[in-house]
């Protein structure tokens, strides 16, 4: 209910040769609200940062352009990353499995040669064993053939081990080098910054050739049609704010209008610098034209009561006393209040005349 609808009965009371203002309580509706100020933000609005440091090599959009998810915004040039990618590609070519197939074929050939020698030495060893059993061969020749067989058998097993180790190393190098190329390619891809949402480029104040790092804001992107309200609420008021509450907003650009909104969220972390909490709301019916960072003032409706007994707030003394027309002070219990009026729960009635406290 508008404050203009409050009916106040004000009388002039003459005492001790001086004029004092008086009033009597009235029954009217009252709405308690919390004041907040804030800015309009585009839905999904976010600041764009580069993934790597470097120099801006190309810019693909302008302020005001519409973009879709995945559209390129700009590209960063980073010589180190480019060289790392080239180095990874060279290493991958060197370590590629097919490039090392010749080494594996040589190792297989070594296994075949070792196997043939082992088989031949095995036959000689068996022959010398038979000659020895027939007492036809010498002991020295037998022992030599036995030693040759054991040596060639060990050489055969060693050739197999070397082949398996070589193959495992080639397989590992091949896989690792391909992964390094993927990593380098991913990092190189990160040199191009893409839009995360469908929206509009609201801010883009960078130029080609400018040096940037991962902390540099490159652009601001947000939804083109849907806007949200983001306001700051003081620490001593935040416990009264709940999601779903009604809020009335006055924008600097729409001075003669008030817009209704609904509280949609409360950030749980307090800003230590301002001692405020960020509260978000959505328009019930948003204005036809809006832009990010428009300023507004808001009243968050906490509670509304009909036919409450009200007096002007400036008739209260220390928030708990009123002065009767005869000069006596009376303790009152207060309830809801707005910026002009306060509800009286007990202590006086609508028939009591009150004096306005003097300075």
Find the CATH number of the domain harbouring 303: 2.40.30.170
Same domain membership, residue 332 and residue 322: yes
Q: How far apart are CA 8 and CA 24, in angstroms?
A: 7
In a shared domain, residues 296 and 327: yes
Domain identity same for 346 and 235 = yes
Distance CA 229, CA 247 (A): 10
What per-residue confidence (pLDDT) applies to 6?
37
Compute the average pLDDT of residues 231-255: 92
Q: Which of 51-55, 261-265, 299-303 has the highest mean pLDDT?
A: 261-265
Q: How confident is the model at residue 325 (pLDDT cuts 50, 70, 90)?
A: confident
Beta carbons within 10 angstroms of residue 297's beta carbon: 14
The per-residue pLDDT for 185 is 63
Higher pLDDT, 234 or 20: 234
Report, as an integer, the average pLDDT of 328-344: 85
Identify the CATH number of the domain in which residue 56 sits. Answer: 2.40.50.100
Q: What is the pLDDT of residues 340-359, one digit of tens each?
A: 888 889 988 888 889 888 75
* 212 shares its domain with 276: no
pLDDT of res. 131: 79
Helix (H, G, I), strand (E, B) or coil at 131: helix
pLDDT of residue 88: 64
Residue 319 pLDDT > 90: no
Number of domains in the chain: 3
Same domain, residue pair 235 and 155: no
Residues 230 and 286 in one domain: yes
Give the pLDDT mean for 248-268.
Answer: 92
Judge if 163 and 204 occupy the same domain: no
Check: CB of residue 201 under 8 Å from CB of residue 59.
no
Lateral strand order in the sheet of 192-194: 192-194, 72-77, 54-59, 211-212
Beta bridge partners of 324: 354
pLDDT of residue 207: 92
The confidence score (pLDDT) of residue 279 equals 96
pLDDT tens digits, 134-187: 777 788 887 888 888 899 899 899 999 998 998 888 888 888 887 777 766 666
Query: Given this model, what pLDDT does residue 188 score?
Result: 57
The percentage of the chain sitting over the pLDDT mark of 90, rounded to a whole number, equals 39
What does the pLDDT read at residue 13? Answer: 36
**Confidence (pTM):** 0.57
Last residue of a domain, one of 222, 244, 276: 222
Least trusted range by pLDDT, from 129-138, 161-170, 203-212, 234-243: 129-138
Choice between 316 and 3, residue whose per-residue pLDDT is larger = 316
Across 12-21, 79-88, 158-167, 270-279, which has the greatest mean pLDDT? 270-279
Q: What is the pLDDT averaged over residues 260-283? A: 95
CA dist list (Å): 75 to 13, 56, 198, 242, 281: 78, 6, 19, 43, 35
Range from 18-27, 49-58, 282-291 that averages highest in pLDDT: 282-291
Nearest to 279 by CA among 337, 229, 212, 215: 229
Collapsed DSSP state (helix, strand, coil) of residue 149? helix
Comparing 251 with 93, which gets the higher pLDDT?
251
**Predicted local confidence at residue 78, as pLDDT:** 67
215, burial (CB in 10 Å: exposed 0-12, middle 13-18, buried 19+) = exposed
**Any idea which residue has 């003459």 for tokens?**
14
Q: Would you place residue 14 in the very low, low, confident or very high pLDDT band (cuts 50, 70, 90)?
A: very low
Predicted local confidence at residue 126, as pLDDT: 82
Show the 3-state SS of 192-257: EEECCCCEEEEECCCCCCCEECCCCCCEEEECCCCEEEEEEEEHHHHHHCCCCCEEEEEEHHHCCC
* Contact call for residues 331 and 348 (beta carbons, < 8 A): no
Phi-psi region of 182 (alpha: psi -120 to 50; beta: other; left: phi over 0): alpha
Residue that is written with structure tokens 């060693």 in the block:
158
Do 195 and 70 fall into the same domain?
A: yes
Q: Which of 171, 201, 222 is the last residue of a domain?
A: 222
Do 72 and 197 share a domain, yes or no?
yes
Whether residues 91 and 177 share a domain: the answer is yes
Nearest to 29 by CA among 310, 353, 332, 354: 310
My answer on whether 36 and 110 are in the same domain is no
Domain final residue, candidates 172, 199, 222: 222
State how far the alpha carbon of 133 is from the alpha carbons of 10, 123, 124, 146, 340, in Å: 141, 15, 14, 14, 127
Torsion, CA 236, CA 242, CA 248, CA 253, rounded to 10: 80
Residue 50's contacts (CB-CB under 8 Å, 6 or more residues apart) are: 76, 193, 212, 213, 214, 216, 218
Residue 251 near residue 40 (C-beta atoms within 8 A): yes
Strands across the sheet containing 18-24: 9-15, 18-24, 354-355, 321-324, 329-331
Neighbouring CB atoms inside 10 A of 247's CB total 24
- 88 and 20 part of one domain: no
Show the domain range for 311: 3-43+226-355
Across the chain, mean pLDDT equals 85
Q: What is the pLDDT of residue 308?
A: 85
């Amino acid at each position: 209910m508008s404050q203009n609808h409050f009916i106040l009965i004000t009388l002039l009371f003459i005492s001790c040769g001086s004029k004092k203002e008086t009033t009597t309580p009235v029954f009217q509706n009252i709405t308690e609200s919390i004041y907040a100020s804030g800015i309009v933000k585009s839905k999904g609005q976010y600041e764009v940062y580069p993934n790597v440091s470097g120099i801006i090599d190309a810019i693909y959009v302008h302020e005001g352009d519409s973009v879709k998810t995945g559209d390129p915004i700009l590209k960063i040039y980073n010589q180190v990353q480019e060289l790392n990618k080239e180095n990874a590609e060279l290493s991958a070519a060197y370590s590629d499995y097919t490039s090392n197939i010749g080494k594996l074929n040589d190792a297989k050939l070594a296994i075949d040669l070792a196997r043939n020698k082992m088989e031949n030495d095995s036959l000689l060893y068996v022959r010398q064993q038979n000659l020895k059993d027939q007492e036809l061969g010498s002991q020295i020749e037998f022992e030599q053939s036995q030693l040759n067989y054991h040596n060639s058998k060990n050489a055969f097993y060693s050739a197999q081990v070397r082949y398996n180790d070589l193959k495992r190393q080639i397989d590992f190098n091949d896989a690792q080098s391909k992964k390094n190329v993927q990593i380098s390619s991913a990092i190189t891809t990160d040199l191009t910054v893409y839009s995360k949402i469908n929206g509009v480029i609201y801010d883009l104040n960078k130029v080609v050739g400018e040096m940037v790092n991962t902390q540099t804001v490159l652009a601001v992107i947000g939804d083109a049609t849907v806007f949200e309200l983001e306001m700051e609420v003081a620490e001593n008021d935040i416990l009264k704010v709940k999601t779903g509450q009604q809020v009335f907003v006055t924008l600097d650009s729409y001075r003669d209008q008030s817009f209704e909104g609904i509280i949609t969220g409360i950030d749980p972390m307090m800003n230590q610098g301002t001692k405020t909490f960020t509260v978000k709301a959505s328009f019930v019916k948003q204005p036809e034209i809006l832009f990010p960072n428009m300023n507004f003032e808001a009243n968050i409706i906490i509670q509304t009561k009909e036919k409450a007994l009200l007096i002007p707030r400036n008739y209260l003394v220390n928030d708990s006393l009123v002065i009767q027309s005869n000069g006596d002070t009376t303790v009152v219990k207060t309830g809801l209040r707005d910026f002009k009026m306060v509800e009286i729960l007990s202590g006086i009635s609508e028939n009591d005349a009150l004096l306005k406290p003097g300075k």
